[in-house]
């Protein structure tokens, strides 16, 4: 919650009585004075300082009083004695449980586990030099949680209205909300799905034909799972396509899309294997080397290394069908080198924490920053390439003792890395350098700056 500046003055106007009370609370937080409400009815509210002068024991004179007249539209401070004769001592009768709950409700909503009673007590003392008790903090946290739960109930009751507003402001979008009836005959949230038309059309026109799908469990009152489908923009950043909240994840990809290529996440494969072979220190690097293989020769070489390391590990790896998570067997044309689902999981994590970060299309030149970084890495080996002419318009390129045939016209290399990545491999780049050409001219269209701009030309209408 954003607080005010803590300033009060005679004839200070407020929209309503609540706004006046919040302004007085801001004054307390700014000054640390011990205020107490002494008058409150529908048209009058007053506060006074209950501090005592340490020298003579006299009561403090500070007082503020606001009211609203029958012929007026706003509340105004009509009496203000802005003079303190006491010294702040860290006590404040005004800072009650509801006030503390209001101060921390937004923070508790964002991070319930962090803002425990002890943390709330420490923050109030640190930031405002006011002492509150641990039971007050416990009660305030409980009150804030009740408010948050009530917000969930109220918001989910408005899901149909929200869906209707999306359709009205973003025509042709796809929105579905579904409720189920409980034993008392009341509607209860079941699932919700949204795919904005602008996003769908832009993804189909400007993004590579690949989708990452994952789910994460929600930790608030509604439980269930957040599902998200993500594409990739021209800078290889995540591009949300559609998302939904459901009570369970139904495995329907193979039923709905039987002809689609389904790649497994090597991170999940590793997690399962680690449960069985947790003491094998070389398991992770050997598994990733296998997943990162760009061609069948590399794939077989890394499989042999796993077998030589541990035959039981090898047997369990083969049971996972490694061709389903190895680059060498990815469908050519998707131009995505990922072998795990980390980008999707990163998106889920950011949504869980209610943090939204946009992509910035600040690239210069023909290619995006992702391509520039990719080529910078390739250049180290490409600069050492030895090139010789081969047949049918191809060239033999040797890098680190490994030879492959490259065809610039077809944008292919027998190592397959270029076809899989969409960006020249070290062999192709070596040939490009040899011919004094520009590597950016041999990057597939999906990574061009112009495409990146088109990724974000159309925004959502609020």
Query: What's the rounded mean pLDDT across residues 442-457?
Result: 94
pLDDT over 60 at 349, yes or no = no
Exposure letters 339-367 (e unless 16+ CB within 10 A, then b): bbbebbbebbeebeeeeeeeeebebeebb
Specify the pLDDT at position 75: 95
Specify the pLDDT at position 362: 45
Q: Is 388 helix (H, G, I), strand (E, B) or coil?
A: strand
Closest CA to 298 of 149, 404, 438, 433: 404
Specify the pLDDT at position 361: 44
Query: What's the rounded mean pLDDT across residues 416-434?
Result: 96
Question: Would you kindly state where each structural domain of the chain is located, as residue ranges?
Answer: 13-136, 161-256, 266-329, 369-442
**Residues in the chain, overall count:** 462
Specify the pLDDT at position 263: 84
423, 371 contact by CB (below 8 A): yes
- The DSSP bridge partners found for residue 386 are 398
Closest CA to 445 of 239, 206, 201: 206
241, 229 contact by CB (below 8 A): yes
Task: State pLDDT tens for residues 16-74.
Answer: 999 999 999 999 999 999 999 999 888 999 999 999 987 888 899 999 999 998 788 89
pLDDT over 80 at 8, yes or no = yes
| Percentage of the chain modeled with pLDDT above 90 | 66
Instruction: Report the interhelical angle of 117-128 vs 97-110 (nearest 10°).
Output: 110
Specify the pLDDT at position 3: 78
Specify the pLDDT at position 359: 43
Task: State pLDDT tens for residues 87-108.
Answer: 999 999 999 999 999 999 999 9
pLDDT over 70 at 446, yes or no = yes
């Amino acid at each position: 919650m954003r607080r005010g500046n803590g300033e009060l003055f005679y004839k200070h106007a407020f929209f309503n009585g609540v706004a006046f009370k919040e302004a007085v609370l801001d004054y307390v937080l700014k000054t640390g004075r011990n205020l107490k409400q002494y008058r409150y009815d529908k048209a009058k509210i007053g506060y006074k300082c209950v501090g005592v002068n340490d020298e003579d024991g006299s009561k403090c004179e500070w007082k503020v009083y606001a009211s609203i007249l029958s012929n007026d539209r706003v509340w105004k401070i009509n009496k203000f004695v802005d003079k303190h004769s006491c010294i702040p001592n860290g006590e404040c009768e005004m800072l009650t449980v509801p006030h503390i709950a209001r101060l921390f409700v937004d923070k508790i909503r964002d991070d319930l586990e962090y803002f425990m009673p002890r943390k709330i007590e420490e923050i109030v003392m640190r930031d405002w030099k006011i002492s509150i008790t641990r039971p007050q903090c416990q009660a305030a946290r409980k009150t804030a949680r009740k408010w948050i739960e009530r917000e969930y109930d109220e918001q989910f009751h408005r899901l149909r209205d929200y869906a209707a507003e999306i359709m009205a402001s973003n025509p042709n979008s796809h929105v579905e909300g579904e409720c189920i009836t409980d034993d008392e005959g009341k509607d209860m949230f079941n699932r919700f799905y949204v795919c904005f038309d602008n996003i769908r059309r832009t993804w189909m026109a400007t993004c590579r034909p690949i989708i990452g799908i994952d789910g994460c469990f929600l930790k608030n009152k509604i439980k269930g799972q957040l599902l998200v489908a993500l594409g990739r923009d021209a800078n290889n950043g995540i591009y949300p396509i559609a998302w939904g909240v459901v009570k369970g994840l139904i495995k329907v990809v193979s039923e709905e899309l039987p002809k689609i290529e389904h790649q497994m996440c090597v991170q999940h494969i590793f997690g399962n294997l680690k449960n069985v072979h947790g003491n094998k220190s070389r398991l992770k690097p050997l598994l990733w080397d296998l997943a990162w293989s760009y061609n069948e020769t590399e794939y077989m070489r890394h499989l042999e290394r796993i077998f030589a390391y541990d035959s039981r590990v090898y047997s369990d790896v083969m049971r996972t069908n490694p061709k389903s998570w190895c680059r060498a067997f990815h469908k050519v044309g998707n131009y995505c080198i990922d072998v795990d689902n980390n980008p999707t999981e990163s998106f889920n994590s950011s949504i869980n924490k209610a943090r939204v970060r946009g992509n910035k299309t600040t690239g210069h030149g023909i290619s995006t920053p992702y391509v520039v970084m990719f080529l910078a890495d390739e250049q180290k080996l490409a600069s050492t390439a030895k090139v010789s002419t081969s047949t049918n318009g191809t060239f033999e390129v040797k890098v680190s003792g490994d030879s492959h045939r490259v065809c610039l016209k077809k944008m292919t290399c027998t190592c397959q890395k270029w076809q899989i990545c969409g960006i020249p491999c070290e062999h192709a780049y070596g040939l490009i350098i040899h011919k004094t050409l520009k590597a950016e001219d041999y990057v597939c269209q999906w990574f061009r700056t112009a495409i990146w701009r088109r990724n974000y030309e159309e925004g959502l209408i609020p």
